[in-house]
Amino acid sequence: MSEEVELSIRNAGSGAVLLAAQTLRLPIEIGRFGAANVGRISAGDGRIVHFGEGFGTLSRQHLTIAAGPGSGIVVTDMSSNGVSQVGQAGAAVPLGHGGTVRMSPGAMRIFETVGLQVTVCAPKEAQVDAIGQPLHLVYDSSSTGRLKALDFDGVSIALVENGAEVLMRRRKGTAMAALEAARAEGAACLLMIGPDGAGGITAICGQGGEVAHNRRMMEADEVAAMDHLDTVEIRGQLLRIMSAEEGKGLSCTNTRCRQLNPYLPGENCRYCGQRLGDGISYWVHS
Amino acid sequence: MIQFPVRFRVRQIGIDGNTMGPSRILLCEEPGRFLIGKSEEADVPLTGDAVSRRHLSLLLDTHDVRVRDESSTNGTYVNGTRVDEVVLAVGDQISIPGWLLELLAPADSPATVTRIAGVAVDESLVSRLIMTDDDTPPPPRRTFPDAEFDGKEMVSIEALRASGHPVEETRFCAVGGGLGSFVWVDHLRCYGVPASDIRAIGTEEVCYQTYKRYCKNSQIPDHERLRSNSLSRPDNIWGFPGYAMREVGKGIGVKGIFQVFGEPTLAESYTPRAGDVFESLDIEAKRIGWSEMFIKAQVLGLRKTSDGRYAVAFKLWGGEASGMARNRYLIADVVHLSTGYPATRFVEDFQTFITNHPDNRAQVANAYEPHDQIYVEAERRGGPVQVVVRGRGIVASRIIQRLHEARKKNPGIRILHSMRSPLGPRDGAIFRKARRLVRNNVEIQPFNWPKSCWGGDLRVEYERAGEEDRGIMLGQLGGTTTAERSDWIAIMDRGAEEGWYRAVYGNISAFQPIPSPGPDQPDGVQISIDTVEGNVERLNADYLIDCTGLIADIRRAPLLADLLDTYHLPRNHAWRMQDGRAVRGAPSGLRASNDFEIEGLRNGNGRVYAAGTITTGGPYLAVDSFLGLQYSALRSVDHLVTERHHKVRDLGPLRSFGGWCRWMVGARP
């Protein structure tokens, strides 16, 4: 789901820029405010942007932009005076009060209303290149006390039980092939994380009741597709999957949770509700 | 031959003789002498009153591992026998007061592991994860400020300077950076403290950003009204003119004017628009120079200093500094804590569902987290959509209003309002001779506390009461209520009449996902409700919106948990009546004096004050309201004036009038 949108506002008559392109957090509300009828944009992260005053014909809540179902965004006309979408041929189609326009990722649309031209660009979805895997395994190295990141280019990482310890070992090939090979050698493999052979990364649970994926206990031989900010927990140790393209994540400080969230310090953890402002930031560079 | 690294398991022992917290592994990578004790020079610093500064040494060479007592006061014991110096064998246990060290068998190091199951694997070893026996996860590794703060109640400024981290000094420091901090700083500025003597530390530049985010998520956009009084102005310490007067000045029509002058008897209570509150806060922030005082940073710890002040450890967010250069210390004479609610409440069944069914996360939401996509999706679908709303507080009322708005686009939306039990007109909470009004199973009250709790007789009575009586009053006067709004009552009445709103009673015992009924249709949720009659009712819903609120447990905030552990600060408790006597419940906020001082953190002339939800159960009922923040700021700043230690001048009638005039014209204090 898109979380941000790029937005700019011009005077429809003169073409003068009232608000240069800004990246703002969803949901967004455009409207007028105060005695001076200040044009005001209120973003989802609490940010407020003003774009001049004297907009008496702008409604208090004129236009809203929210995340749509799945990916993409939804623009809704909440105004009294109407909002029109400008088509490619220049024709303006009114949305009607309560009318919506869905925009797919990467789309740009122009809306005209009460002398303003609002340009909205829905962000493009991150493209994961199947050649050169961007996902990394990030973990606290117990010997150095520092964070380490391992890539998965053609290799899998096996977590093998060895007495009271769990050893992390590199193995060539896809996760499934590496797990089969490890089992054939008699190694007590608790978890194998590695390429799935189709451009993605998977985690395969070796023994049930030992490994949790995003806080949920996995069953033996269960395969979980791994994505940016996923975590696997094994006997109190947490391994985090991060994308070098996305770069950054915030770890929850609730000791019962510790999951990795998108780098949005004002939000709360999506797994347990803890405020992320106190979280520990993790990042990985390509 | 001794194989390196030599490993010891280190455990902390509580006064009951049981182990406490996670065990840690001490790795001695090479031969040498390792000093253990309370001293800062110790290689392994251990805390505890009975641990000597230089307690014992571990002597490691290639032939043996020995332990030597360093003339400690309370002695060193190996397997229960007091020793001066002795050679250790694997499994031997060294005990000193409060700690147990066990010599472990050597681990298979990468150099010694050559084959597993007959296959050479040396080069493949990436790392080893050291496990602990207990369930508690290992504490996060943090060099800052643990190297200077960990296990210490008092730190010296010299030691902080010697750490190499920048050390700045100020007189007043507000920790939190939200509305509570802003109101306190606003009071200081209006009392005449210059901006250069104040620092406010928080992670969000705009003081109302977190509050606004919660408003937005719970469907209160800028043009909607909050549940707050006209005179509760966090941007105006005088409270006059209130929001209502300001709104009258802008032109609100005859109906609006009638409400302003007729409330609360002839009309419903006036409440301000969210956007008006935010706008006036922006203006006041500019007037008092908030941006000059504000540091965008995360506060990691607070300690008393040996010179009667406080050291605040913080990590800068953003800016040019990176890595360790972001870590700083701020030394302050007076500190104010207002860190707000640490988490949204995920009740157990909700938590279980999102843990076990992450793919169905979009079908359930807590009302305080972003969930706009639920309304967008429900509006777009065109067919029947069933939404369960759990809770009967003000957030539930607003969510039902939002769903009612969504019905204009999709009349197929049905609302199931889940409540624990029905509430009849005579079931409202009773306080002495008063009984709360109940409409549609929901208790109605203009604000979240009776108005006299803020500044009337109930405030005085509550402040004078002891801990137990305070707890009982809190239970009787608080509780879940919703605002007195005729439009909300009308929505429920009409919905029940037309059949698209239905109240269901009982405890939700479980959620289960229901697979998608068809392409382009989202999955659903089956909700099991243990009804009041003892049956289990199963409801199929498309979405569940949980309006059970925020968590006030201060232990969830790492900074406060550290303060509680380090200084053993007392806490308030919830109380309830059972069989005619008061029973103490769970701990709530930090215990504070009537002037909102955390007396357990007093340090010479240094003072720490607190405000907001972290003082729940303390000297004031409505701590997390706008007026509650103003009241606590007023009491704490007045306390500073009375004590005369910190050069805060009294704000007498003339100075106050002058200050108000400056506020009216927008002049800097």
Averaged pLDDT, A30-38: 86
Asked if B369 and A100 come within 8 Å (Cβ–Cβ), the reply is no
The stretches of B174-326 forming alpha helices (DSSP H) are: 179-190, 209-217, 243-250, 253-262, 274-288, 290-293
Q: What is the pLDDT of residue A143?
A: 46
Mean of the per-residue pLDDT values of chain B: 88
Residue type, B320: E
Residue type, B19: T
Instruction: Record the tokens describing residue B663, joined without a space.
Output: 């506020």
Tokens 């009004």: give the residue.
B437
Q: What is the percentage of chain B residues whose pLDDT exceeds 70?
A: 91
DSSP secondary structure string, B48-117? -TTS-SS-EEEEE-SS-EEEEE-S-SS-EEETTEEESEEE--TT-EEEETTEEEEEPPPP--TTT--EET
State how far the alpha carbon of B425 is from the alpha carbons of B328, B362, B400, B441, B487, in Å.
Answer: 58, 36, 21, 8, 19
Distance from CA of B141 to the nearest CA of A (A): 7
Q: What is the pLDDT of residues B193-230, one digit of tens each?
A: 999 999 999 988 899 999 998 998 999 988 889 999 99
Averaged pLDDT, B34-61: 84
By the 10 Å C-beta count (0-12 exposed, 13-18 middle, 19+ buried), B66 is classed as middle
Is B209 within 8 Å of chain A by CB? yes
Q: What is the pLDDT of residue A187?
A: 87
Asked if A31 and B223 come within 8 Å (Cβ–Cβ), the reply is yes
Q: Tell me which residue of B225, B232, B230 sits closest to B179, measured CA to CA.
A: B232
Nearest residue, CB atoms, B127 vs list A47, A67, A139? A139
A197, pLDDT greater than 90: no
- pLDDT greater at residue A4 or residue B494: B494
Q: What is the pLDDT of residues B641-667, one digit of tens each?
A: 999 999 999 999 999 999 999 999 999
Phi and psi (nearest 5°) for B433? -95, -5
Q: What is the pLDDT of residue A277?
A: 80
Q: What is the pLDDT of residue B119?
A: 39
Asked if A274 and B141 come within 8 Å (Cβ–Cβ), the reply is no
Averaged pLDDT, B366-391: 90
CA angle, residues A258, A261, A264, in degrees to nearest 5: 125
For helices B486-498 and B394-406, the axis angle rounded to 10 degrees is: 60
Chain B residues 528-567 within an 8 A CB cutoff of chain A: 551, 556-559
Q: What is the pLDDT of residues B9-20, one digit of tens each?
A: 777 887 767 667
Chain B residues 634-653 within an 8 A CB cutoff of chain A: none
Is B407 within 8 Å of chain A by CB? no
Q: What is the percentage of chain B residues whose pLDDT exceeds 90?
A: 58
- Is the torsion defined by CA of B411, B412, B413, B417 positive or negative? positive
Nearest residue, CB atoms, A29 vs list B135, B222, B409? B222
- pLDDT greater at residue B114 or residue B72: B72
Asked if A150 and B126 come within 8 Å (Cβ–Cβ), the reply is yes
Q: Tell me which residue of B313, B304, B306 sits closest to B334, measured CA to CA.
A: B304
- Is the torsion defined by CA of B205, B211, B214, B216 positive or negative? negative
Q: What is the pLDDT of residue B110?
A: 38
Give the pLDDT band (50/70/90) at residue B293: very high
Q: What is the pLDDT of residue A125?
A: 60
B417, pLDDT greater than 70: yes
Tokens 């100020």: give the residue.
B170
B93, pLDDT greater than 70: yes
Q: What is the pLDDT of residue B595?
A: 97
Between A and B, how many CB-CB pairs are < 8 A?
Answer: 200
C-alpha span between B233 and B222 (Å, rounded): 16
Asked if B116 and A185 come within 8 Å (Cβ–Cβ), the reply is yes
Q: Which residues of chain A have a CB within 8 Å of the CB of B409?
A: 98
C-alpha span between B655 and B663 (Å, rounded): 12
Q: What is the pLDDT of residue B112?
A: 38
Nearest residue, CB atoms, B131 vs list A166, A214, A215? A166
Instruction: Record the tokens describing residue A63, joined without a space.
Output: 């236009």
A126, pLDDT greater than 50: no
Q: Which residues of chain B have a CB within 8 Å of the CB of A143?
A: 27, 127-128
Q: What is the pLDDT of residue A144?
A: 47
Q: Which residues of chain B have a CB within 8 Å of the CB of A238?
A: 137
Q: What is the pLDDT of residue A286?
A: 34
Q: Which residues of chain A have a CB within 8 Å of the CB of B322?
A: none
Give the pLDDT band (50/70/90) at residue B50: confident
What pairing do the DSSP bridges indicate for beta strands A63-67 and A73-77?
antiparallel
Tokens 């200050």: give the residue.
B659
Q: What is the pLDDT of residues A129-185, one digit of tens each?
A: 333 456 778 776 554 445 667 778 778 989 988 877 788 888 888 999 999 999 998
Q: What is the pLDDT of residues B298-319, one digit of tens each?
A: 999 999 999 999 999 998 887 7
B113, pLDDT greater than 50: no
Residue in A169, A240, A276 to test binding to B, most B beta-carbons within 10 Å? A169
Give the pLDDT band (50/70/90) at residue B630: very high
Q: What is the pLDDT of residues B519-550, one digit of tens each?
A: 666 788 999 999 988 899 999 999 999 998 89
Distance from CA of B387 to the nearest CA of A (A): 16
Q: What is the pLDDT of residue B441?
A: 92
Q: Which residues of chain B have a CB within 8 Å of the CB of A145?
A: 141
Q: Which residues of chain B have a CB within 8 Å of the CB of A163?
A: 108
State how far the alpha carbon of B138 is from the alpha carbons of A230, A236, B227, in Å.
Answer: 19, 7, 43
Q: What is the pLDDT of residues A205-241, one digit of tens each?
A: 998 888 999 888 999 999 999 888 888 888 777 888 8
Asked if B370 and A267 come within 8 Å (Cβ–Cβ), the reply is yes
Nearest residue, CB atoms, A165 vs list B107, B119, B209? B107
Q: Indicate the range of A250-259, B9-18, B153-162, B360-369 predicted with least confidence.
A: B9-18
C-alpha span between B334 and B175 (Å, rounded): 11
Is B164 within 8 Å of chain A by CB? no
Tokens 């009537």: give the residue.
B594
Reply yes or no: is the peptide bond before residue A27 cis, omega within 30 of 0. yes
